[in-house]
Structure 1
Amino acid sequence: MTDQMMMNVKPNQLMKATLQTETSTMVLLLLLLQLLSPLLLSCVAASAGPPRHLPPCQVVQMDVFCSDRSLRSAPVDLPQGVQLLDLSCNQVQNLTRETLAYHTGFYHLNLHANRIHFIQPGLFRDMTELKVLDLSKNHLSVFALSKVSIGPLTAVESLDLSGNGLYTGMSEYFLEESPSLVNLSLNSNSITKIAQNTFSGSSSLEKISLHNNVILEIEDGAFDSLRHLTELDLSKNSITCITDFNLYNLKVLNLSKNSMELFHSASSSQLYNLLNLDLSENKMLYFPFLPRTNVLQYLDVSRNHIQSFNVSGNPEKRANVFLTQLQYLDMSYNRLKTIPETFFCFMRSLEVLNVSNNCIGSFSLTVEGLLPTVKIINLSFNSLQTLTFGENSLPSLEKLFLQGNDLTTLDHHVFQKLPSIKYLQLQQNNLKICDSQQSPYDPELTEQNQVNPPDCVSLSSVRSLHFLYLSENNLQNLPANAFANTPLKLLDLSLNPGLDMDKDSLRGLEHSLVHLLLRENNISSLHTDLSLLQSLKHVDLSTNQLTSLPVWNRESSIESLNLQNNNLVTLDSSTMVALEHSLKTLYMGSNPLNCCSNLGFLNMVQRLAVVVPDIETVTCVHEDFSEPVNIEKLTEGMCQASSNSAYVVVVVVLVLLVVTMVVALLVKRRRSRKRKPNISFRA
């Protein structure tokens, strides 16, 4: 509006326009206030509400526990002489003398999971009794940016700095004045490099954990100054190789979950004290080059890409290492196709050998006394076609895992050559069982096996065997005396559809067998008399086609019986009575039971004489109901009413029949009278 135009506007008009503008503004403000007032009131109410009730710190003698109480500092009324203070999971941000209520006599200080990003310089100088300091899961990377040391930590022996976002070069500010430090955790940080001077101020270290960082490089000599170091955890990093490993005093080394392609020890005759080496979950193509003079007891190279026992693929550089103290060797989940028998030379202390989940086609141990102490061998899930054991080559073997190999042909008496075998897992193969009467085991007659089918294996006279798993073997026949003189406690024959068991197939197990598993075999009836198995306590017959119960008498010791998913309509009352004195658990779900034909079973359930874990799925068919009835809802009255009504129906039908017959007779007699001719006599 120009000056000339402004002069033409009258004062009272200008005032009127101003008032109208102010009125409109006030109206808008009132409307806005009216809309926001509920929100403001709720905020005020929330702020004015009572604070979250937190219990006071717990004091036990000279230990104070204040974990998870939303504290920003220690309580001011701490007892004098407090030794342990737990302030974990609180809201401490600045760690100062005031934060700790000016106490300095701590032995153990736990500040885990706070928000600490500042530490007062010299705070720990006067804490000459402090042995354990936990600063894990804070924000100490912010403090480290100031490049100020928190030291000295003159007496601290255990320090936890894990989960603080520390990266390369930051840990030195916490370690450079820690002469007594023994145990250090730097887990779950962002460290990429271990420098030569990283631990120079902590020469007493015995245990270092650097798990879950991003370590790519370890400078030469980074651990050389640590003469007392015995445990080093470098797992879950990005290390690609270890060359010239020379930590002679180290006892435990964990390099699992890296990207290791090579592990090579220094060529030295000096004794290595390493006891435990974990190289699992890496990318090694060859067996590691281990210290030649060693006392190694535990070696895990599982989940690598190992194909050969040669070092770096050079046939002339074989891993000829004497592992005389080795007790546990895990080479599972690799790409091994064969293991030469010579590999096990000088492993006379080995107790556990795991080579499962490889590509091994043949496995042979024939040299007498080669592995005298081995107790467990796991060859499961390979490609085994041949398996050979020599006499006395495995005198101590107790457990042998062979499942998932598709084995079809074995030496008939391969398992009789294992004098201590207790547990044999043969699941998921294609074995056939020899008849023991046709093939009595005699070591001197091993060449006379022509009487046997060429593709069967003998499981009789394995005199120490207690647990045998033969499920999923496509077994069609189980001959008589299949396990004679083998004191089995558990026998699993499940998942062999169409299995035909001879009536004497379990003979010889009368006094030993406790567990029998026959589930999913498509069995319609059992020819084998289970009542002869006097020690049998647990039987699984689920998911078959059974129409009747196996016969048991009062001598039965059955405690658990699984009959789920069969075709049982009526449970034989005499068998149920015979079982009742010992039976504790019965699975009966998914059977087409007849309600009123199984009142004995109903009474057993109602008296709580037996536990039916799947009672909710146990139903029966009742002619008065269109849907199956849950056995818990069935009463004897329902069956009596049904029988009474049936009786009435029968009586009515009989009466009608009698009446019909009487009427028919009367009608017949009447008709005959009508047809009779009139006879007259004349004199």
Structure 2
Amino acid sequence: MAAVQLLFPLLVSCVTANARPPRQLPACQVVQMDVFCSNLNLRSAPLDLPHSVQMLDFSRNQVQNLSQETLAYRTGFHHLNLHSNKIHFIQPGLFKDMTDLKVLDLSRNHLNVFAHSKTNIGPLTAVESLDLSSNGLYTGMSDFFLADSPALANLSLSSNSITRIAQDTFSGSLSLERISLHNNVILEIEDGAFDSLNHLTELDLSKNSITCITDFNLCNLKVLNLSKNSMEFFQSVRSTDAYRLQLLDLSENKMHYFPLLPRNNVLQHLDVSRNRLQSLNVTGSPDRSTTVYLYHLRFLDMSYNQLKVIPESFFYCMASLEVLNVSNNCISSFVVSNEGLLQTVKIINLSFNSLQTLMFGENSMPSLEELHLQGNDLTVLDHQIFQRLPNIRHLYLQENDLEICGADKNHKNPPECVFFSSIPSLQFLYLSENNLQTLPSNAFANTPLELLDLSLNPGLDMHKDSLSGLETSLVHLLLRENNISRLNTDLSSLKSLKHIDLSTNQLTTLPTWNKESSIESLNLQNNNLVTLESSTMLALEHSLKTLYMGSNPLSCCSNIGFLQMVQNSALVIPDIEAVTCILEDYSEPVNIGKLTEEMCQRPSTQNYIIAVVLTVLCVLIALGVAIKCCQARKPKPIRSFSA
């Protein structure tokens, strides 16, 4: 009986252990008919998947063999995501019964191992989007996945090791509309490789090793990306056929001449930046030029090349151009004298060239809004050149060597100055690093500037009325690194001014503002400010939101009002860790955030006077007592009377 009593608990524990369900896999998330099992370290899908599941995200797991068992014997998927596993085997015919499968993502696996078996993946009956990127596939391997994909429209083979596109590579996928072959090592494309793809509209061949395209003939293609190759030539077949190409990216190649494009084209976006263009001639011979027909072109980027000149004739057949970027070339002259040219252009970027001549004819470029001329060392311009641009809003003139004309009739202007007054559309003007010595009165009269950058002009002498006319328009004023010790210009008259940068100057006093000031952001870093005038700080208190004050030799006890503003208002000081002040009793500067009023307390004048008076009284009393004591010790005289 005792033995039975001892065995009973053991039997119960064994039965309980056998009755426990097997260890459950980490739970997937189910949202209606979508199941998310990403990044759970799984080798197969849980058997309790809903029968009606349409989307299964099984990415970032440990699947090696993809089979019916791996997918819990489900076949009703619409979207199957298996990227970033370790798949190196796929059960042949696995997808045959998945007649609703539209999207299949097999990227970032080891499908190159499967391809070695030279077995087709089987029919992908309804698949419209297939991602095979980052699988170590090389030439010919993609055929085993594409051989029977009649509905396939989107295909990604990017980041593999494909070196050649064969003529029959896509023969089993004739419905393809978009193909990405980005980041392979393609050297060769056989003739006719894409000719049978009548629905193909987008082709990405970027970041490969293609050296030339000499017979481009894909009339239905709309987007072609050939950037980051080793292209030396791009030439279309000479034909009158209508081409549908709208975007062509040839950037970061080795082209010396402008691409030869189909005459009958609708190209809107052309990028040939970062090549070796020395001429806009489309032929190798300097004596033979071919007209470039780009009537529909809206965006043209030729930046970072070796162009020295752009003839006006180049723009004759560009009636729709809106953006022209020719920055970072060697252009010395840019002239637009013909009234009919560049009527629709809105942005021109000529920055960082070698411009010496810049001319615009009357009524030319009526739509131009933004002109980039920075980094050209321009010294001489026509006085009224910018007044000829009726819609100019942004003007970038940094890193040049210009002089500014004054609008004051009594002011004698230098012969080579430029007028910035009376430009009714101009709102943003950048004139930093121009070696400006003077800013005459009324320099911007009748020009409604919102932003004016005059920074990095050491020694700039501003007339007291230099900003006259900007009272109601100017919002941003930048005057940093000008070596200014005192501002002559009255900034308090600028009623709309909200942001001002006076950093890295030699200021010893603040500009004067009144309570009508609208300043919200003020940068006073790296100046020589010791005391911030209380009246000015009080005037700014109601509007100021952000203040930069680092690297100034502030006096702690002379700025109690500022200290109270820092501690008791909503003012934000982003560089407060660098804002320090000098306290007499401390050898090291004190951070303004750690300063207290008690550290600056001194005996009041009244107490000092009382103490002095008391001290004097004590001294006088002591002297009186001492005198009386001395007199008491003297012998009394003997009085005598005579009869």
The TM-score with structure 2 as length reference comes to 0.90
Structure 1 residues 523-538: aligned runs within 5 Å? 523-538=484-499
SS at match of 1:597: coil
Contact 2:292 2:314 (C-alpha < 8 Å) held by counterparts: no
- SS of residue paired to 1:343: helix
Amino acid at match of 1:503: K
Within the alignment, does 1:638 sit opposite 2:609 as a pair?
no
1:516 maps to 477
> Hey, what's the Cα distance between the residues in 2 that align with 1:651 and 1:388?
81
- Select the residue among 47, 50, 56 that pairs with 1:79: 50
* 1:196-252 Cα deviation digits (max 9, x unpaired): 000001111000000000000000000010011000000000000000100000000
Residue 238 (structure 2) aligned to one of 267, 271, 276: 267
The residue number in structure 2 matching 1:347 is 318
Corresponding residue for 2:633?
Answer: none
Q: CA deviation at 1:637?
A: 2.2
Contact 1:122 1:151 in 2 (8 A): yes
User: What CA deviation, in whole Å up to 9, does each residue of 1:350-398 have, x standing for no partner?
Assistant: 1110000000011111111311111111111111111111112110111
Tell me which residue corresponds to 2:215: 244
Could you tell me which residue of structure 2 aligns to residue 368 of structure 1?
339
Over residues 562-605 of structure 1, what are the superposed CA-to-partner deviations in whole Å (9 max), with x where a residue is unaligned? 11111111111111111111111111111111111111111111
Please list, as runs of the form range in 1=range in 2, the aligned pairs for 1:532-611 lying within 5 A after superposition.
532-611=493-572
Aligned to 1:413: 384
Taking structure 1 as reference, are residues 572 and 142 closer, same or farther at Cα in structure 2, changes over 3 Å only? Answer: same
The one of 98, 103, 116 equivalent to 2:74 is 103
- 1:439–1:458 Cα contact (<8 Å) kept: no
Amino acid at match of 2:311: P
Provide Cα deviations, 1:477-516, integer angstroms capped at 9, x if missing partner. Answer: 0000000000000001111111000000000000100111
Contact 2:283 2:290 in 1 (8 A): no
Indicate how the Cα distance of structure 1 residues 658 and 499 shifts in structure 2: closer, same or farther if over 3 A, else same: farther
Q: CA separation in 1, counterparts of 2:132 and 2:171?
A: 17
1:391 counterpart = 2:390: no
In the alignment, residue 586 of structure 1 is paired with which amino acid?
L
Deviations 1:63-98 (A, max 9, x none): 111111111111111111211111111111111111
- Judging changes above 3 Å, is the alpha-carbon distance between structure 1 residues 657 and 197 closer, same or farther for their aligned structure 2 residues? farther
Alignment equivalent of 2:293, drawn from 302, 322, 327: 322
Supply the AA of the counterpart residue of 1:97: Q
State the number of aligned residues: 603
How many angstroms does 1:626 deviate by? Answer: 1.2
Judged with a 3 Å threshold, the aligned counterparts in structure 2 of structure 1 residues 151 and 453 are, in CA distance, closer, same or farther, namely same
1:228 and 2:199 aligned = yes
- Specify the alignment match of 2:330 in structure 1: 359
User: 2:120 — aligned with what?
Assistant: 149
Per the alignment, residue 336 of structure 1 pairs with: 307
Change (3 A) 1:54 1:534: farther
1:162-201 residue CA offsets vs partner (Å, 9 max, x unmatched): 0011110111010010111100000000000000000001
1:323/1:346 contact within 8 Å kept: yes
How far apart are residue 316 of structure 1 and its match?
Answer: 4.8
For 1:60 and 1:170, locate their aligned partners in 2 and report how far apart those are by CA, in whole Å: 37
Q: Structure 1: how far apart are the matches of 2:53 and 2:580?
A: 66
Task: Report deviation, 1:638.
Answer: 2.1
- CA offsets 1:602-644 (integer angstroms, 9 cap, x no match): 111111242222222111111111111221222222222x345
**Matched ranges for 1:154-169 at <5 A:** 154-169=125-140
Post-superposition shift, 1:288?
Answer: 0.6
Q: Tell me the secondary structure at the aligned position of residue 500 of structure 2.
A: strand
| CA–CA distance in structure 2, aligned partners of residues 659 and 402 of structure 1 | 82
Query: CA–CA distance in 2 between the matches of 1:318 and 1:649?
Result: 97
TM-superposition CA deviations, 1:425-470 (whole Å, max 9, x none) = 1111111101112499xxxxxxxxxx74222111001110001111
Residue 118 of structure 1 and its aligned partner are, at CA, apart by 0.7
Equivalent position amino acid for 1:104 in 2: T
1:175 and 1:164 map into 2 onto residues whose CA distance is 15
Q: Which amino acid aligns with 1:541?
A: L
Q: Identify which of 457, 469, 486 aligns with 2:418.
A: 457
Q: 1:650 to 1:344 in 2, by over 3 A?
A: farther
Instruction: Please tell me the residue identity of whatever aligns with 1:638.
Output: M
- Pairwise CA distance, 1:108: 0.7
**2:481–2:505 CA contact under 8 A, matched in 1:** yes
Structure 1 unmatched runs, 5+: 1-51, 441-450, 664-683
Q: Which amino acid is 2:428 matched to?
A: F
Match of residue 468 from structure 1: 429
Q: CA deviation at 1:101?
A: 1.2
The aligned amino acid for 2:579 is V
Pair 1:643–1:301, CA change in 2 (3 A):
farther
Partner Cα distance (1:628, 1:126) in 2? 78
Deviation at 1:420, TM superposition (A): 0.4
Contact 2:283 2:289 in 1 (8 A): no
Does residue 277 (structure 1) correspond to residue 248 (structure 2)? The answer is yes
Range with bigger deviation, 257-266 or 383-392: 383-392
Structure 1 residues 305 and 651: alpha-carbon distance in aligned structure 2, compared to 1, 3 A threshold: farther
Give, in angstroms, the shift of residue 122 of structure 1. 0.9
Give the counterpart of 2:468 among 496, 507, 518: 507
**Could you say which residue in structure 1 is the equivalent of 2:92?**
121
Match of 2:627 in 1: none
> How far 1:99 moved relative to its partner?
1.0
Partner of 2:441: 480
Quick check: 1:63–1:82 contact (8 Å CA) kept in 2?
A: yes
Q: Which residue of 2 is the match for residue 624 of structure 1?
A: 585
- In the alignment, is residue 202 of structure 1 matched against residue 173 of structure 2? yes
Taking the aligned partners of 1:359 and 1:497, their CA distance within structure 2 comes to 28
Q: Measured at CA, do residues 329 and 658 of structure 1 come closer, stay the same or move farther in structure 2, by a change above 3 Å?
A: farther
Amino acid across the alignment from 2:504 = T
Farther off after superposition, 57-66 or 184-193:
57-66
Compare 607-616 and 61-70 and name the one that shifted more.
Answer: 607-616
Deviation digits for residues 321-374 of structure 1 (CA, Å, limit 9, x no counterpart): 221110000000000001001101121111110000000011111111311111
- Structure 1 position 303 matched with structure 2 position 274: yes
- Offset at residue 654 of structure 1 (A): 11
Q: What letter matches 1:158 in structure 2?
A: S
CA contact (8 A) 1:409 1:454 kept: no
Give the distance between the partners of 2:25 and 2:468, measured in 1 at CA: 69
Matched, 1:65 2:26: no
User: Contact 1:136/1:161 (CA < 8 Å) preserved in 2?
Assistant: yes
* Alignment match, 2:144: 173
Change (3 A) 1:177 1:439: farther
Separation (CA, whole Å) in 1 of partners of 2:150 and 2:543: 68
User: 2:584 is aligned with what amino acid?
Assistant: E
- What secondary structure does 2:532 align onto? coil
- Partners of 2:609 and 2:175 lie apart in 1 by 98
Q: Any idea what the Cα deviations from partners look like across 1:24-80, whole Å, max 9, x if unmatched?
A: xxxxxxxxxxxxxxxxxxxxxxxxxxxx99741111111111111111111111111
Residue in 2 that maps onto 1:493: 454
Aligned partner of 1:6 in structure 2 is: none
Structure 2 match to 1:28: none
Structure that is richer in helix per residue: 1
Change in Cα spacing, 1:637 to 1:246, as seen in structure 2 (3 Å) is: same
Find 2:393's aligned residue among 391, 405, 422: 422
| 8 Å contact from structure 2 (residues 134, 159) kept in 1 | yes
Q: Tell me the secondary structure at the aligned position of residue 371 of structure 2.
A: strand
